[in-house]
Structure 1
Amino acid sequence: MTRVLGVDPGLTRCGVGVVDIAPDRRATLVAVTVIQTAPDLALERRLLAIGDELAALLDEHQPDAVALERVFAQHNVRTVMGTAQASGVVLHAAAARGLVVTLHTPSEVKAAVTGHGSADKKQVTAMVQRILRMDAAPKPADAADALALAICHGWRTGAASPAVLGASIAPHGDLTPAQVAWRAAEKSARASRLDR
């Protein structure tokens, strides 16, 4: 069992989701929350609040790995700066605990949980709810995105291990369509690398 803490970074809303991934890739919800800070609070106080809450979550849930959304440049420089600053807090908190942080692009995460990299937020949220067998959809979107990041990381690292060891991946009847699509994409990517 691998425990992954996923973070959808943001200065106003920072989504945090913790998921356990079994060897058969079955994902189980452990915790989900959104750390919020007020826009009128001084920047250093906002970052401190995010850092303090994140540290408490890391210490409480003891994840094996941290998955963080990769920051991309946007037209709104203020938004991307806040996201980057929140990401720095996450990187620091994880490193202080000896945890490896893996960055995932939004399209990687969408492909992992829905089967295609251009899915919209509604589709991602619906698949996260289904994969984690939740009674209700995780809200707000920051919470769903954090859980999707954790699932993506768990499946991605889990899918890579058998290939590295040269083992075949046994089919599982309980895989979701997204998991089946992800395995097919991983197999295709490995095949194209071998053909080079």
Structure 2
Amino acid sequence: MKTVPAPASATPAVSRVRIVGIDPGSQRTGVGIIDADAQGRLTHVFHAALVVAGEASFPLRLKRIFDELGEIIAAHRPDECGIERVFMARNADSALKLGQARGAAICAVVSQGIVVHEYAATEVKQAVVGSGRGDKTQVQHMIGVLLGLKGPLQADAADALAIAVTHAHTRASIGRIGIPRSAWRRR
């Protein structure tokens, strides 16, 4: 008796993109990784807050952000990255430290060949909460709902996941309408 091979699946393989979101901070840096498939479904992969405040010096904090983020990227192999854009703070010293922490995070990502996309905090809140003026608890709650996570989320990790979700939504919109993101900005 001759065996007949099973027919190939009529369902095409689901392509997915893995996105790392980063909420940079000089004391805690949030990291969140999600998968987004071609149908727009989002799946939680990983999240953490890198607590670097206990280091002996600020340069050691930056090194730890770079090293730990590099290890996470190597372990989870994201395809793309979204990171929060720096806002102007009242305290110049804090803004400089935040910028340096952000630079360490960007270097960790770029050193592994991943392109970085930047998002303002208001863009992230708009994408996740529906208002650019949403607060941290709203972001935490909505990220839990969107990704099906149970229990409370640490704020920096939730913000990082929100940045990844924002990037997933933005890249899907760009794919649908074909207008580059830079054209969306009001001048």
Q: Same fold (TM over 0.5)?
A: yes
Q: Deviations over 1:119-142 (max 9, x none)?
A: 111111110000000111311x10
Aligned partners of 1:8 and 1:15 also within 8 Å? yes
Q: State the one-letter code of the partner of 1:4.
A: I
TM-score, normalisation: structure 2: 0.85
Percent identity of paired positions between Structure 1 and Structure 2: 36
Do structure 1's residue 89 and structure 2's residue 81 form an aligned pair? no
Match of 2:39 among 1, 24, 46: 24
Q: What is the CA RMSD across the aligned residues, in angstroms?
A: 1.9
Do structure 1's residue 134 and structure 2's residue 149 form an aligned pair? yes
Aligned residues: 168
Do structure 1's residue 104 and structure 2's residue 122 form an aligned pair? no
Q: How has the CA–CA distance of structure 1 residues 137 and 22 changed in structure 2, closer, same or farther, with 3 Å as cutoff?
A: farther
Match of 2:64 among 25, 41, 49: 49
Aligned partners of 1:17 and 1:31 also within 8 Å? yes
Q: Which runs of 5+ in 1 are unaligned?
A: 166-185
The ranges of structure 1 where at least 4 consecutive aligned residues each deviate by more than 2 angstroms after the TM superposition are none
Q: Deviations over 1:24-75 (max 9, x none)?
A: 2221110000111135621111111111100000101110111110001110
Q: Which has the larger radius of gyration?
A: 2
Q: CA deviation at 1:15?
A: 0.4
Equivalent position SS for 1:122:
helix
TM-score, normalisation: structure 1: 0.81
Aligned partner of 1:12 in structure 2 is 27
Match of 1:148 among 136, 154, 162: 162
Task: Show the 5 A alignment for 1:159-174.
Answer: 159-164=173-178
Q: State the one-letter code of the partner of 1:94.
A: V
Q: CA deviation at 1:23?
A: 1.6
Equivalent position SS for 2:170:
helix
Q: How has the CA–CA distance of structure 1 residues 99 and 155 changed in structure 2, closer, same or farther, with 3 Å as cutoff?
A: same
Q: State the one-letter code of the partner of 1:155.
A: H
Q: Which runs of 5+ in 2 are unaligned?
A: 1-15
